[in-house]
Amino acid sequence: MEEDLAPDHPEPPTGPPSPDAIRARADALRDARDWAGAEAAYREYLAERPRHWQIHVQLGHTRKEQGDPEGALPHYRHAAMLAPDDPDPVLQAGHVLRFLGRGREAAEALARALALAPGSPDLRHVVALLRHRTEPPPEDPYRAPPPRPTGPPTQLAFDVTDLLDYLRAARTPTGIQRVQMGILGALLASPQRPANVVLVAFDGGTWRWWHVEEAAFRRVLALARIGGREDDPAWRSATAALATADARPDAPIVAGCTLCSLGNAWGVQEYFRGLRRLRATIPIRYVAFVHDCVPLAMPEHCLDLTVRLYARWFAALSLHADGILANSRATIADHARFAAPLGPVAPARLIRLAAEAGASPIAAAQAAEALRTPRPGEDFVLFVATLESRKNHLMVFQAWLSLIRRLGADRVPRLVCVGRPGWRADAALALLEGSPDLKRKVTVQSGVSDLALAGLYGRCLFTVYNSFHEGWGLPVSESLAAGKLAVIPAHSGLLEAGAPGAVFFAPQDQPDLVAKLEMLLTDPAQRAALESRIDRGAARRDWPDAAREVLAALAEPEEPPEAPRLLPLGRHLPMGWRGEGLPSLAMAWAERVRDGLAWWWQEEFGVWMRDGIATLSLPTDQPAGTPMRLVLELRAPPRPLALRLRARGTQPGPWRGLDLQPGETVRCVLQAECGQGGLAVDFDNGDGVPLGDRFHRVVGAGLIGLMLCREDDLAARLGALERAEA
């Protein structure tokens, strides 16, 4: 008799794999980057579960990764239909549309995604980058920008853009940052502060003004004063919390506001275009603090890029600023001198800088003793300045070497230099490195906190400060406020900073510097007598005093002169940034006429438009209805472009088509009647073309230059014709 023997381990039942097993296999193939295999497996899964929207998204990814972004779109769109409340499918479709160069569709898709997830900082950022494609073309006749507000400000908004940029990269502030931090710190901490004060910043990448959280800002100021380590976890956490623009709401700026920049906005990308955009919807005043005009007065001591950026900023300031704050009468005079060729000069108010003691002497001494040099009890002289050619450390080092050789090393104290190495410090550092005598007597330190610096002022014999030109010279005030003599050259703003009792030497006169230093080192009685004459009260103005002066200047604005901020007619206006070292009206207007968001930055040839609608705003004083002629010089992008353009004066003119072929330069003429206050030109670049640069820019036409004149100005028309034939 045969027996049926059951196996000890029965075989698993055969049959088709479960949907979950298919999905697991598809995910594994995806993770292995086998996109074709993953696509087949995801399709097999969706045959069983066709409403699983996340897998439709994954299927779209497989098509995209196989080089078929167009084929990915239907899958993302089907997923969006299945999950209308989830932003991810729409977001994925938007990214693909951007890649395909379909900018307007991408902008609309990403805006829908943001509407579904309004709290997403990443989505807010990417939507802001594409705002130039969602704004409809203007259809109104041209109208001049709204007039500036009059009377006391309804609100004070302090722009901290450049300060945040600095603090993202460094912890210990230099002169301009210390001024901003001192004034704003005192203002925000004051119980008498106005109720209408806000902090704002500008994001040049997204043309967005955003609200800076005051509590986070004050925490960063406090940490910057007490420490110098940039890898400190508390510092990193505080700066990250402060400077996350995309996570913060828009700046709550209201009509009648005075927007004040206490720093230097000359390095902020597209700053004035952002200001014009803000002013187009909200009537505000703009006041800027000019700390010095060094890049214009002493360009040889600045980076070439710094000189060019500063000159362009200074030129544009003449068309945008309603008021100027400055730290010295010398700076006010410098500003007036360089601004005079640009037209009426905005009124300037003097804000004398402060040098408060502030810190506990015990805490400051302890912080200073924690530094590697000077050693406890060691005599030293202090030099606080960035190591750069303008501060002329080389001359001070040479003077120190002369003193060592004249008096002997034992009679010459240590020179402690506090500051970061900067522009063209090589000669000074090379002398220091090559001289054993100097290396024994000179120490260079960076990353010194304000607290430790206060301790160094308290312990030093005296200070030395050298420079070719200064707006003020904060270390001079700090030295005198601490009761320590400052040996400084007699020029520029240093004459005012050092007035309470500095020891002056003839500028760039090394023998005179050596003589003054030798006198202070070898004659303690004379040094003590000079110290006793320091007017410490005049030197030690607390930052709250400076803050009150700022508030008074902003609360009672001087009305600017009736500046005809009008485009010069009949003159060729080059749009390129050729790197001139001095500001000019042409430079100012090349910045001023670009309106809206659809422009890239200026380059040597001119400026590229973006995809979408770019606009020129050309203000004039011609009566409405005056026939005008505009000559435009355009550069074609790397691929063919079907450009449309029109003029808007008393009414929008008809669109005119212009086919641009790669490599060509085209001159065209537009005729229109002047509107109320001027003329506008709109350029419709459609979806643009890839420029092929490292920034992956999509561009429309390039604008090389323009000339606007009255139709009956035959001389200007002839000049434009001759230029075209040249």
pLDDT at residue number 665: 96
In a domain, 563, yes or no: no
In this structure, the answer to whether residues 178 and 283 fall within a common structural domain is yes
CA 39 to chain CA mean position, Å: 46
Distance in angstroms (rounded) separating the CA atoms of residues 407 and 687: 74
Tell me the whole-structure pTM to 2 decimals: 0.89
Which CATH number fits the domain that encloses residue 344?
Answer: 3.40.50
Residue 410 buriedness (CB in 10 A; 0-12 / 13-18 / 19+): exposed
- CA-based torsion, 416, 420, 425, 431: positive or negative: positive
Give alpha helix (H) positions in 460-603.
474-481, 494-497, 510-522, 524-532, 536-539, 543-555, 585-592
What does each C-alpha distance from 442 to 52, 377, 381, 391, 409 come to in angstroms? Answer: 71, 16, 10, 16, 11
In a domain, 128, yes or no: yes
Token pair 């120490």: residue: 443
Distance in angstroms (rounded) separating the CA atoms of residues 703 and 219: 45
- CA-based torsion, 378, 379, 385, 391: positive or negative: negative
| Strand 613-619, strand 678-684: pairing | antiparallel
Name which of 207, 338, 170, 326 is nearest 261 in CA terms. Answer: 326
**What does the block give as tokens for 261?**
């920049």
Any bridge partners for residue 414, and if so which?
380
Q: Which domain, by its residues, includes 107? A: 19-134
Distance in angstroms (rounded) separating the CA atoms of residues 647 and 631: 11
For residue 180, report the phi and psi dihedrals to the nearest 5 degrees.
-60, -45
For residue 619, report the phi and psi dihedrals to the nearest 5 degrees.
-75, 135
Give alpha helix (H) positions in 206-253.
214-226, 233-242
Any bridge partners for residue 177, and if so which?
none
In this structure, the answer to whether residues 580 and 656 fall within a common structural domain is yes
Which CATH number fits the domain that encloses residue 381?
Answer: 3.40.50.2000
Distance in angstroms (rounded) separating the CA atoms of residues 288 and 476: 24
pLDDT at residue number 540: 84
Give me the amino acid identity at 296: L
pLDDT at residue number 615: 96
In this structure, the answer to whether residues 535 and 589 fall within a common structural domain is no
Which CATH number fits the domain that encloses residue 126?
Answer: 1.25.40.10
Q: At which of 299, 326, 350 does a domain end?
A: 350
- Kindly report whether the peptide bond that precedes residue 74 is cis, defined as omega within 30 degrees of 0: no
pLDDT at residue number 6: 45
For residues 603-620, b (16+ Cβ closer than 10 Å) or e, as one string? eebbbbbbbbbbbbbbbb
In a domain, 185, yes or no: yes
DSSP letter at 148 equals: P
CA 653 to chain CA mean position, Å: 37
Which region holds residue 612: left if phi is over 0, alpha if psi is between -120 and 50, else beta? left
Token pair 């509107």: residue: 675
DSSP letter at 85 equals: T
In a domain, 517, yes or no: yes
In this structure, the answer to whether residues 375 and 412 fall within a common structural domain is yes
| Cβ proximity of 478 and 352 under 8 Å | no
CA 625 to chain CA mean position, Å: 40
For the chain, list residues with pLDDT below 50: 1-7
In this structure, the answer to whether residues 256 and 376 fall within a common structural domain is no
For residue 191, report the phi and psi dihedrals to the nearest 5 degrees.
-70, -20
CA 45 to chain CA mean position, Å: 51
In this structure, the answer to whether residues 594 and 684 fall within a common structural domain is yes
**Total domains, the chain:** 4
In this structure, the answer to whether residues 211 and 330 fall within a common structural domain is yes
Any bridge partners for residue 710, and if so which?
628
- Longest Cα separation, the chain: 129
Q: How many CA atoms lie within 13 A of 481 on its CB side?
A: 23
User: Which parts of 316-379 are beta strand (E)?
Assistant: 323-326, 348-350
User: Which parts of 99-167 are beta strand (E)?
Assistant: 155-159
Tell me the pLDDT tens digit for each residue of 140-175: 899 887 788 888 999 999 999 999 999 888 888 888
Distance in angstroms (rounded) separating the CA atoms of residues 494 and 353: 12
In a domain, 198, yes or no: yes
pLDDT at residue number 4: 43
Helix (H, G, I), strand (E, B) or coil at 445: strand
In this structure, the answer to whether residues 336 and 420 fall within a common structural domain is no
| Cβ proximity of 485 and 477 under 8 Å | no
Tell me the pLDDT tens digit for each residue of 75-110: 999 999 999 999 999 999 999 999 999 999 999 999
In this structure, the answer to whether residues 642 and 503 fall within a common structural domain is no
In a domain, 557, yes or no: no
Per-residue HEC secondary structure of 617-631 comes to EEECCCCCCCEEEEE
In this structure, the answer to whether residues 118 and 201 fall within a common structural domain is no
In this structure, the answer to whether residues 314 and 377 fall within a common structural domain is no
In a domain, 146, yes or no: no
Q: Residues for the chain: how many in total?
A: 726
In a domain, 12, yes or no: no
- Count CB neighbours of 276 within 10 A: 21
pLDDT at residue number 3: 42
In this structure, the answer to whether residues 159 and 184 fall within a common structural domain is yes
